[in-house]
Structure 1
Amino acid sequence: MGVQRGEVLDQVPPPAMLLRRPGCLCFLLCLSPLVHSLRVQEYLYFQVLSPGDIRYIFTATPAKDFGGVFNTRYEQIYLVPADPPEACGALNNGVFIEGQIALVERGGCSFLSKTRVVQELGGRAVIIADNAYDNDSSYVEMIQDSTRRTADIPALFLLGRDGYMIRRSLEQHGLPWAVISIPVNITSIPTYELMQPPWTFW
């Protein structure tokens, strides 16, 4: 798999994913050393509350050098898939993103451009899923583009397989959004209650 300019693919799955659980609503930033690198990869977790068939804890990685952080715990907030998915311009459902979190697809423009589109619509954060729907292990390091612009809302990268399964579930149920909790502290959930997406290998 080739590495695109300005992006780093991390092939190492997060050890903390051995702890996947529903129902926790606190913040966790899990740090894990990467092989062949002095960098530290950060992980942030969120839980889908509805629809029930994807009620799992998902892992995302924050953008490296742009975007904000979660200063608030959202016990219930909408995750709204952008229309069109790449969110490189005006959105047909932009009115639903105000005050919520947008689920966007990688491609078409920079990660920063997508984040700014969501921010300008009043979104509280953006989750950018890989456009490789079979990607269930490779995280991309999201960095700024060359425009010297900024963004203030949190921007997270999500595995392509996870993004695809969330979108597919919403389409099957005819729902315009999912209900999620973010960020989630997985350390406070009993091991027997851990719920990981069954399609992802860790």
Structure 2
Amino acid sequence: MESVARTAALVLYLWSVFMQSSRISALGVNELLYFRIISPEEIGYIFSAAPAKDFGGTFKSFYDEIFLVPADPADGCSDMKNQDVIQGQVILVERGGCSFVQKARHVEEAGGKAVLIADNAEDNDSQYLDMVADGSTAKPSIPALFLLGRDGMMIRRSLQRQALPWAVISIPVNVSALASFPFNQPPWTLW
């Protein structure tokens, strides 16, 4: 039993080294991307998100520890007021108020590395939306992902409750490398 645990730990370590040293290839159509919240521990789960259909970039690096910063304003429809903490981080934005493309552009202009757009239907724990371009010519180049509404709400509530300015996440996470370990998925979301 101990040797199985050592082998599993070695496989996980080697995968981590590989991911850090290689480029992440683009996802196929209808594939989900996964990220893990490292801190705060109360929401230390693996979450899934759906990449935008026809705009935004792909992750070219693995971020072992990067901040997930809630946008200010929350809908991301105007210039970011918290640019000082957005620079180089992943930004959590709420759906509504303007197009997905506009939100991603505002985050990119503020220096964000990627944007997670959480559904504004806070009871949505299973339905991913197709984020499509809005017809504008200026498309963002950062990764843009759709996050279930319940996941976004739970993340924001946890940060507010603990008066934290951000969560620490790992993105993207290869869940197939975790096959021998139990998924630590959010208890409110069915996969």
Place the TM-score, normalised by the shorter chain, in its bin: 0.7 to 0.9
Q: 1:193 — aligned with what?
A: 182
User: In 1, Cα distance between the equivalents of 2:179 and 2:119?
Assistant: 30
The aligned residue for residue 107 of structure 1 is 96
Q: Which has the higher helix share?
A: 2
Residue of structure 2 equivalent to 1:159: 148
User: SS at the partner of 1:134?
Assistant: coil
Q: Deviations over 1:103-138 (max 9, x none)?
A: 000000000000000000111000000000000011
- Does 1:61 pair with 2:50? yes
Secondary structure in 1 aligned to 2:35?
A: strand
User: Residue 117 of structure 1 is aligned with which of 106, 125, 135?
Assistant: 106
Instruction: Tell me which structure has the larger Cα radius of gyration.
Output: 2
Q: State the SS of the aligned residue for 1:128.
A: strand
TM-aligned CA deviation for residue 190 of structure 1: 3.9
Pairs within 5 Å for 1:135-150: 135-150=124-139
Letter in 2 for 1:98: Q
Secondary structure of 1:156's counterpart equals strand
Give the match for residue 50 of structure 1: 39
The structure 1 segments of at least 4 consecutive aligned residues displaced by more than 2 Å after TM superposition are 22-31, 190-193
Query: In structure 1, how many angstroms separate the alpha carbons of the residues matched to 2:105 and 2:189?
Result: 30
TM-score by length of 1: 0.81
CA contact (8 A) 1:28 1:45 kept: no
Deviations 1:155-199 (A, max 9, x none): 000000000000000011110000000000011114433101000
Shift of 1:28: 8.3
Q: 2:59 aligns with which of 70, 73, 87?
A: 70
Contact 2:80 2:107 in 1 (8 A): no
User: How far apart are 1:146 and its partner, in Å?
Assistant: 1.9
Residue 193 of structure 1 aligns to a residue in which SS?
coil
State the AA in 1 paired with 2:93: V
Higher relative contact order (CA 8 A, sep 6+): 1
Post-superposition offset of 1:29: 7.0
Instruction: Write out per-residue CA displacement over residues 26-77 of structure 1, whole angstroms, 9 at most, x where no aligned residue.
Output: 468776xxxxxxxx41210000000000000000011011010000000000
* Distance of aligned partners of 1:30 and 1:71 in 2 relative to their CA distance in 1, 3 Å threshold: closer
Q: Is the Cα–Cα contact under 8 Å of residues 28 and 183 in structure 1 kept in the other structure?
A: no
Which residue in 2 is equivalent to 1:175? 164
| CA distance in structure 1 between the partners assigned to 2:50 and 2:59 by the alignment | 13
- 5+ residue gaps in structure 2? 1-11
Which consecutive residues of structure 1, in runs of 5 or more, have no partner in the other structure? 1-21, 32-39
| One-letter amino acid matched to 1:168 | R
Letter in 1 for 2:52: A
